[in-house]
Every structure is written in C-alpha cells, then in structure tokens.
Structure 1
Amino acid sequence: MQGSKALILMFDISLFLRHNFARVWALASEKLTSLEIGYISSVMVTELLSPNVEPHQSPNQIRPSILPGIQKLCLSVDYITDAMVGTISQGLVSLTHLDLRDAPLIEPRITFDLTNSGLQQINQHGKLKHLSLIRSQEFLITYFRRVNDLGILLMADKCASMESICLGGFCRVTDTGFKTILHSCSNLYKLRVSHGTQLTDLVFHDISATSLSLTHVCLRWCNLLTNHAIKSLASNTGIKVLDLRDCKNLGDEALRAISSLPQLKILLLDGSDISDVGVSYLRLTVITSLVKLSLRGCKRLTDKCISALFDGTSKLQLQELDLSNLPHLSDNGILTLATCRVPISELRVRQCPLIGDTSVIALASMLVDDDRWYGSSIRLLDLYNCGGITQLAFRWLKKPYFPRLRWLGVTGSVNRDILDALARSRPFLNVACRGEELGVDQWDNSDGMYMHDYDEVDELEQWLMEGEDESDNDEEMANAEINAEPME
C-alpha cells in the first residue's frame, strides 16, 4: 500500500525454516517503521537481526542492516534473553519503542534468560522512549530471577530520556531499583509494574519531590502496597489512567485520595478491599471525568455502591463498567443503574450469583436521553454464569431490544437452539458461551484508552433501512423457547 509504514501480517512463523525467514525479511522495505509479531522464538529474532556473512560474500562483506527504519517493535517470544535484547538494541538504530513479552513453558536456563548484563545493553543508540519487558505467567509461575537492583541501575543510567517504562515479573527488584527509575527518568509519564513482589509504599514516599508528571500508572499484583502509596501517588494530579488491579491491601482511604484526581479517565480496582462507603468517594470523579471503571471481585461491595455512584446524577461520561464477581450484587443494583440511565456501552456482570432475568429486562427497557430504542447504548453485555438467568431473559435479547449489541456473554448450559435462533436473527451479534472474556486485547492495553472497534454496519441503522418486520425471526425464537429443555 502506497505510503504505508506499518505492516500487519497473519501467518505461522513456525512453518519457516530459520535461515529462510531471515532471508525473507532482508527484502523488507527500508521505509517500514513499525513491526508487531504475535509469536516468534528468541533464536529466530537474534538470527534475523544478526549481521551474518552472506554465502556469496567475502568474509569482509557484512550484510546490510535488516529493517533499518524500524522505530517500533512489539514481539511475543518464548524467552526474553540477553542475546536477543543485545541484538535488537545494537541492530535497530532508529528504535524508539520496544515491547517484549514472553511466556515460558519451563523455567529458563541462564543462556535463555534475561540478566543484569542484558539490561545494560538496552538503548545503545539513545533514542528509546518506550520500554516494555513483561514475563507473562500464562503457562508457568515464573519471574526474571536473574535481574536485581543492579540491573535496573545499569539500565536507568542509559534511559534518562525514557517516557514510558513497563516492567512485569521482576521479583528480585526492590524499592531501590524502582525508585531509581522514578528519580532518573525525569520525562517519565507512563509507569507500569506488574508482579512487583518487593515493591512497597516507600517507592512513592517522596515522589512529590520529583519533577515527574505521571499520567498513566499501572501497579498490578503489587500486594505490598497500601493506602499510603496511593496517597503519595495522588500528588501527580494529572493521572488519567490508574490500574490497581489485584492490589489486595488497598481500601477506602485509597479511594479518598483517588477522588482528588480531576483528569482520571480509567480506574481499575479489581480485587481490592474497598467498601460501599469508599466507592461513594468516587462520585464526583464519576460525574466529571471517569470513562471506564472496574470493580471486579471487590467482595465487600453491595447494591449500595450503585446508588452511591449514580443515583441522582445526569450527563455521565462513563462508558465501560465491570461489576463481575460481586457476590452481593443483585438485580436491585442493576435496576438502579437502569433507572439512572447511565449511558453504558460495555457492562460486565459475569459470575454474579444474584443477577437474573430482572436485570436483563431492566437494561432492555432502559432509555438514554431521548433515544426511542430500548437498551440502545449497550454494545457489550457479559452475563456469563449469572445465577438467575433463564429462558425469559432471551426474549428480551431479541429485536427491538439492545439494537447496538455486538458482544454477548452467556453460560454454555443454555439451550443450543435458543442461541442458534438468536444468532440467526441477529447476524452482527457475537455470542460467547464458554466463559471467554469479551474484548480483551492480547497486549492487555489497560494503560491506554482501549475502545472496541465497532466498524461493522450498525444493526440499528439496518433495522431502520429494512423496516421492523421481523415476524419470521420472532416465530423461530418462540419455537426454540417452546422446545427448549429447562435451563440448568
């Protein structure tokens, strides 16, 4: 495509012989600036970028640099290794954005792991602005066990101009290492640390004394953090994205500090120890700025948290709300949500045992502003494993309700005929019934303004164009309900 600088391809790299794969990329355009590969082995990356001698060249002739214009590189690999990091840092002279993620199947040996030496090689050309090194625990509980504070000190020495740093799985890095990043990288606006098992409140104790202007902060699975850390962090009043998922020791006082952030757009609090009273502190933030809120797995919350946030409010900005895995949330809470006409486009209430048909009926009947189409704002609705959902709810998932619904999560034990009839009557609707999460990005881009790409034809617009005569589909759904076995 003329003028294109980014390339997105879908093919199985394992089908390539390693030397053939490198040869193919030698033909890539010098104008290519961005490359993302869903999975590739670290050995293939190293061989691809290594300046090997070609078969017909003399030993003194070195192959020209592969991908000389690459500025952004995102790779998912088997292991992040010193050799791979060193080759990337040395060979890609224009690199400004490096995003590496691995998911080991077995505990890495030292030759297939990242060490302090590998970190020291990062940013050899001094142009790097964004660095992400994540060890995923998808297959194995594992960490970067060969990196400690010394490695972070060596890296920070070369990364003073860095604007974004994401580190996941650095279990031996202590407050000393993390504080070095905050005090060395004066341009840092995005900080993401996951599985920081030794990160404590002390990292943020004197953050107000720095010149940092953080806007995106993710501290996921950092279980030593308490309310004191969030109070200190809130001195960065420009924070727009705050991800505190699975920080189990955070409570209501953390929410009181968060409520002072005037520009907050995304707040993720999954699994924290907050109560309905604490949630009430967020009311002003919800009214003025918040676009996405996740309270998933906050076990102490009840229906009162819904009224505390939304009752009596109008013209809300909130578009995405996750209330999944709340054992005390019932239909009454969803009725309050519908009554307040919150213009939600994505609502997740999966694994809520007290949610049932009444919630679906309330949402289907909800009108936002002056829209005459019931439930018209909702594009994603996740009801997976909700305890009270029966065949009655599916009557309210038919036209003309939920005209913009694109994604629906339900329990797999529902009658297959009903689901098939629903799918045929609503061809733009994606139904998930095996418990899969809806709309989750591979790179878990929770520290950015992630929004679904609804580029399909709008179903509501199609109804308006085609008219509302859907008697055949209604009859098919009715027959499916009559013939359905009782739901579990």
Structure 2
Amino acid sequence: MTKSTAPEGQTLEYLPSVLLASIMTKLDVSSICSVASTCKTFNACASQILSFLPNFHLIDIAPPMKQLTPLLPTNPYLKSIRVDCKRLDDKAIDCLLKPSLEELYLYNCEDFSGKLLSRIGFQCSNLKSLYLGLVAEKRGRSIWVSDLEELLCGCSVLESLSLMFDISMFLPDHSALAWTLASPNLVNLEIGEISSILMSEILNPTAERQQQLLPSEMQTPMLPNIQKLCITVDYVTDTLVGTISECLLNLTHLDLQDAPVIEPNSSFDLSNSGLQRINQHGRLKHLSLVRSQQYLRTYFRRVNDLGILYMADKCLNMESISLGGFCRVTDSGFRAILHSCANLQKLRISRGAQLTDLVFHDISATSLSLTNVSLRWCNLLTDHAVVCLAYNMDLNVLDLRECRHLGDESLKAISVLLKLKTLLLDDSDITDTGLSYLGEGVLSSLTSLSVRGCKKLTHKCISSIFEGSSVRSLQNLDLSYLPNFSDNGILLLAKTRARIIELRMRGCPLIGDSSVMALASMQVEDGWWHGSSLRLMDLYECRGITQLSFRWFKKPYFPRLRWFGVTGSINAVMVEALKRSRPLLHIACRGEELGIGHWDSSEGLYRHDREEVDELEQWLLEGENGTDYGTDFENEDGEGGMDEDYEGEGGLEIAVEINNGDDEMVELL
C-alpha cells in the first residue's frame, strides 16, 4: 500500500473535518477562538461548530456587540449561554436570547433596562435556569413590575432563578401579584437585594390583600416548592425568619444576609425567638445567617447562647452552618453546634467577638469530619485552636483571616493537612520561618495561599514557600500589604517558574518596575510563553511602579492577563494608553478588588461561583500533548502562530472578525 504524504505545512488540511470538529467541541468558547486564530483550517472548523455547540460560555472577558455577534450564529442546538455583559446593552438582546435555551447566565447587565426581563419571558420559554446580574444599575435605566411579570409568566418551566439586583423598588402589592405567576417548578431562588417586609409579603400575603389580588381559586401558598433561598435584605427579623420557616415547607438551603444602614430596634431585628423558629420542618441542610458591616458597625445584639441552643436542637442534620455578627454568643453556644450537628462539614463563623480556643478544645472527641472552616475576624483565637482543628484531616479550606494572634505554631499544626487546597492567613503573626513549616506535603496540594497583611514577612517568604518542594499546584498567591516585601521576592518567584495564575501585591511599597520586568520575562516549566500563566495582577498602591512598567504590558508579554490593578491617579496617561491598546483587559484604578469569585468578599462567605476552566490552557499546562507551544498565538505584529498564507478566506471567519474589530480578543482568549 502506498503511503500518502501531505505537502509540507499543509498536514492539517488532510485531517478529516469530522475529527477536528469532534476535538474542538470539547473546548470552551475561549479556547475555540484561540485555536481559530492559528490557521485557516482551524478557523473554518470553528466557524462550523459554532452553529451546533450546545454551550456558549464567555465570562472571562466582556466582548462588545460587534465581536459577540459572529460568535453567536443561528444554532438550534444551543442550550446554555453565559456571558459577561459589561460592554453590552439592550441592542444585544436579540443576539443573546435564543428559543432553544435552557440555561442563561448574564453578568454585569448595568446598561440593560427592564426590557431584558420581558424579552426573556417572551423568547425563552424553555428556560430552566436564569441568572441576571446588576440589571439597570446605570443611571437612566429602569425596571417595571410589568417586566418582572412577563419574565415569570413566560418562563413557565423555570427551576432556578437568580435576580442579583435591587427589587425592593417594587410596591409590595404589585410584587406579590407578580410572584403568583412564578413557575411551580421553581426550587432555587436568589435575590440580590429586597426589603424584609416585601419578602414576607411575597411569601405570605395577608388574607385581606390576598383576596384583593387573587380570585379564591388561586389563593394558594406562594413559591411552595422552593428548596434553596438566598437573599440579601435590609434587616433579618424574627418575622422574616418565621415566615420563611412556615411557608417554605421543602426548604433545605437558607442563606440570609442583611446590611443595616441604621441600628435596628427591638421590634425589627433577629432575636432568640426568631432562631427558635428556624427549621420547623426539619429539612434544612445548609444555613447561613450573616449581618454585614458594609454600612454600619452592627451585630445581632439580641441573640445570645440561648438562641443558638434553640437552633442547635433543631439542626441536628445540618451539613453547613455560617454565622456572622453574633457578638453576644460565647463558647457555650458555638460548642453546642459542634456537638449537636454530627453531619457538619462546613463551619463558617465571622465576627465571633467572644469565640475562644475552648470551642475546639475537645473537637477530637466528636465524630465531625470538617472539610471547610472559616473563622474570620475571631480575634481571641490562638495557635491552640488551630492545633485542635488540625485533627480534621479532611480539611481542604481553612480561612483564618484577621485572627491576629495566630503565629508559627499554627503553621506547624497545619502542616499535617495533606488535602488542604485553600489557606488564608491575612493579618496573622506568622514569619518567613513559619511558612517553611508547611512543608512539601501541604504545599504540594495547595492551590490558593493568602498572607495579606502579615507584616513580619519579607521577600524571603518566597523561598520558604517554594524552595525544596514541588509546589506545582499553587495558582493564587496574595502578597498584598507586606511592608517589607521587595522586588527581590518577585525575582525569587520568577526563578521558581511556578504557574501562578493570580498574583496580588497591592499596597507593597517596595515593589517596583523590576518586579514587572521579572514577571514579564518569567517562563513557566518547559519554557512556555513569557508571563503566560498570569491572568490577574494587582499592583495597586505599589509605589515603585513608574511609566517604565507599562511598556511591559505590550505584546507579546502577559498574553493571558485579564485583570490588572494599578494606581490610576499617578499613572493616568499610561493607564489610558493601556486601555486603548488592550480594551478587553479589566483595569481597576480605584482600589477595587479584582477577579471573579475572589475569596475576599464582604464577609468571606461564598455566594455564586463564576469560575470557568479554560480547557485549552489546562491541556497545555498539564502537558497532555507533546507539541512545542513555546510561542504566543500572536506576535507583536499580530501574526504569531498563524499560517503564513492565512488570509481568512471563507466561512464565518471568526478570528478575522475578531482581529479586524479588536486584536485584543484573540490575545486575551
């Protein structure tokens, strides 16, 4: 048999298109666009598969309308869309909404109006899961009750609904009427902001009002099948908790958070009586009660140990408990939770003003197998508490931020936790030597480490973390607010060739241009790409950063960078120039915390995880193929790894459309 050979440089064209399509459909949209930019064969294949991809997820950048449109052709097989809409408005509605959709997640919809809600109800009747973030946040945008009514009426099979914006603007009677139209299949409900009075009225309208709003045949319990309820209200009150417990008979997951603007009075607050009414039907598995200090330094002052004891007696089957702002609860109350809830896996306590080591003194005598522990702002804890917690060998998340009396002995205890993935030690009393105690066992499994504000640390902490160990898994590193951390530390980091994805160094006065140059020149293992692994870099308030650093953010450096923090007031001209040259890069100049799903939320409690995996990058970094990817997809002239003869002929020409409109799209993807 004669062996056929393909002309040199054209081997891809001889591969079956079905094979290429089969491979590319395993990638996410970001990876497909990256591959499409490399040669005309891949571009043609990508052009075709976008017409039958079941999922379109593009949330790590915010594409403008002209780049999004060619990526969303007519596709009767499309079931799921997830898009960051920060650069979109009502004009993109027709592009985003498809009749075949079953899942729709639209983030940062500030520039959309209520028209988005009504059109979703009209065009997406098959939706089962809907997430809308920050709708109509910009001045001049508005949402009407009629928009909500059309959404709820049109999406008649909806199972999960997240409205992450303020709906407290609606009048109670009109809102109650709107929610009677909600799908009977609705089991998950998340609301970004709503008043407690309005929420109580929605769940249990008064008999008089119900008669006014509804005919007798429609007077049934509101939202009867809800299993998961996550809401932020103005005040968590006894009335609200009681209404939820009485009306939502199937509830298994309750997340209540408030952010008072004034100190609540006794009749409009949570007390022991309210806690006694929690979980009346015994089905709760997850409970979160948090009082945020976003606007006012306030607590649940009317709850003490007795209320927690009442709650613990009814929460024997709990798997996750989060409590924030219970300043009058002592060790007795918190111990009751540990000794009553035998199935508890996640324990999160924030601002536990009276929580001490004694809570965990005999935790080894319990049958608990905790996997996630957060004890943020519990300032009475010492190393002994961590020693006791370390008996839970299955811990994979340990959040000890703002526990200021924890030192190196804590790190010795943590060193036995070989399954630990996330370790947060902000503002603790640890030293460079202490970090070396973690050893290869913990550091080889750790993916996220934060030592923000640990003032005793110097640049030598990098050696303690990386030297003598195979730290291959660490991806997120927070070194912010370390007054003695200098460029020497970043030079040491660059030498390790670690695959860091998120690096935060804000507020480090000794960090300067040398660090940026070192990171730009840094190559990860096997020599892949300059600074390629970094997706996030925070240099806000790093006083040594000058205009010289900005030159290193041009191609081909930092090709995957998507989030960049810098002090804009000092470098205003250079920041504006960078925005023009890399318009799809998220640049924060006012001290905003960067990233998606960053652990530093207001109370350290996770709500909605948006993290997506870039499959192409993961394959490359894990070395699942032997190809040499030592160059960027594009070089400074925009040609990079593309075929020399590739001129974008035929098909949808995804890469060409992107390049003509915005070179940055291909670079970032």
Q: TM-score, normalised by structure 2?
A: 0.67
Aligned residues: 469
Residue matched to 2:24: none
Distance 1:58 1:423 in 2: 54
Is the CA contact 1:216–1:241 (under 8 Å) kept in the aligned structure 2? yes
Is the CA contact 1:51–1:64 (under 8 Å) kept in the aligned structure 2? no
1:61 is displaced (CA, Å) by 7.7
Deviation per residue, 1:215-263 (Å, 9 max, x gap): 0000011111111111011111111000000001100001100111010
In the alignment, which of 192, 211, 215 is matched to residue 38 of structure 1? 192
Distance 1:150 1:88 in 2: 21
In the alignment, which of 233, 238, 262 is matched to residue 106 of structure 1? 262
1:89 is displaced (CA, Å) by 0.9
The structure whose RCO (Cα within 8 Å, separation 6+) is larger is 2
Distance 2:183 2:491 in 1: 56
Residue matched to 2:348: 192
In the alignment, which of 404, 419, 426 is matched to residue 575 of structure 2? 419
Residue matched to 2:170: 16
1:424 is displaced (CA, Å) by 2.0
1:311 is displaced (CA, Å) by 2.2
Q: CA, structure 1 residues 11+107, in 2 after alignment: closer, same or farther (shift >3 Å)?
A: closer
1:287 is displaced (CA, Å) by 3.4
Structural mapping, 1:240-259, within 5 Å: 240-259=396-415
Is the CA contact 2:370–2:392 (under 8 Å) kept in the aligned structure 1? yes
Residue matched to 2:446: 290
Residue matched to 2:203: 49
Distance 1:364 1:251 in 2: 34
Amino acid at match of 1:396: W
Is the CA contact 1:367–1:374 (under 8 Å) kept in the aligned structure 2? yes
Residue matched to 1:175: 331
Residue matched to 1:410: 566
DSSP 3-state at the match of 2:163: coil
Distance 1:187 1:129 in 2: 9
Structural mapping, 1:25-424, within 5 Å: 25-53=179-207, 54-55=210-211, 63-314=219-470, 316-424=472-580
1:369 is displaced (CA, Å) by 1.6
Distance 1:78 1:56 in 2: 27
Is the CA contact 2:444–2:469 (under 8 Å) kept in the aligned structure 1? no
Deviation per residue, 1:418-451 (Å, 9 max, x gap): 2222122223211001111112645766569967
Q: CA, structure 1 residues 63+371, in 2 after alignment: closer, same or farther (shift >3 Å)?
A: farther
Amino acid at match of 2:505: V
Distance 2:633 2:515 in 1: 30
Q: CA, structure 1 residues 10+232, in 2 after alignment: closer, same or farther (shift >3 Å)?
A: closer
Distance 2:344 2:165 in 1: 36
Deviation per residue, 1:179-211 (Å, 9 max, x gap): 000000000000000110111111000000000
1:8 is displaced (CA, Å) by 2.7
Q: TM-score, normalised by structure 1?
A: 0.91
Is the CA contact 2:440–2:470 (under 8 Å) kept in the aligned structure 1? no
Distance 2:587 2:186 in 1: 37
Distance 1:12 1:156 in 2: 32
CA-based RMSD: 2.5
Amino acid at match of 2:200: T
DSSP 3-state at the match of 2:373: strand
Amino acid at match of 1:291: T
Q: CA, structure 1 residues 345+451, in 2 after alignment: closer, same or farther (shift >3 Å)?
A: farther
Is the CA contact 1:241–1:448 (under 8 Å) kept in the aligned structure 2? no
Distance 1:396 1:101 in 2: 43
Q: CA, structure 1 residues 20+58, in 2 after alignment: closer, same or farther (shift >3 Å)?
A: closer
1:456 is displaced (CA, Å) by 12
Is the CA contact 1:52–1:62 (under 8 Å) kept in the aligned structure 2? no
Is the CA contact 2:418–2:442 (under 8 Å) kept in the aligned structure 1? no
Is the CA contact 2:568–2:575 (under 8 Å) kept in the aligned structure 1? no
Of 31-40 and 304-313, deviating more is: 304-313
Matched, 1:469 2:637: yes
In the alignment, which of 139, 151, 161 is matched to residue 7 of structure 1? 161
Amino acid at match of 2:345: Y
Amino acid at match of 1:227: D
1:282 is displaced (CA, Å) by 1.4
Structure number, greater radius of gyration: 2
1:94 is displaced (CA, Å) by 1.1
DSSP 3-state at the match of 1:15: coil
Q: CA, structure 1 residues 356+23, in 2 after alignment: closer, same or farther (shift >3 Å)?
A: same
Amino acid at match of 1:411: T
1:17 is displaced (CA, Å) by 1.2
Q: CA, structure 1 residues 381+56, in 2 after alignment: closer, same or farther (shift >3 Å)?
A: closer
DSSP 3-state at the match of 2:398: strand
* Unaligned ranges ≥5, structure 1: 472-488
Distance 1:365 1:314 in 2: 22
Residue matched to 2:150: none
DSSP 3-state at the match of 2:553: coil
Distance 1:315 1:231 in 2: 24
Q: CA, structure 1 residues 45+74, in 2 after alignment: closer, same or farther (shift >3 Å)?
A: same
Of 413-422 and 385-394, deviating more is: 413-422
Q: CA, structure 1 residues 160+62, in 2 after alignment: closer, same or farther (shift >3 Å)?
A: farther
Is the CA contact 1:318–1:344 (under 8 Å) kept in the aligned structure 2? yes
Distance 1:378 1:186 in 2: 41
Distance 2:507 2:213 in 1: 63
1:127 is displaced (CA, Å) by 0.7
Q: CA, structure 1 residues 57+310, in 2 after alignment: closer, same or farther (shift >3 Å)?
A: closer
Residue matched to 2:4: none
Distance 2:607 2:169 in 1: 34
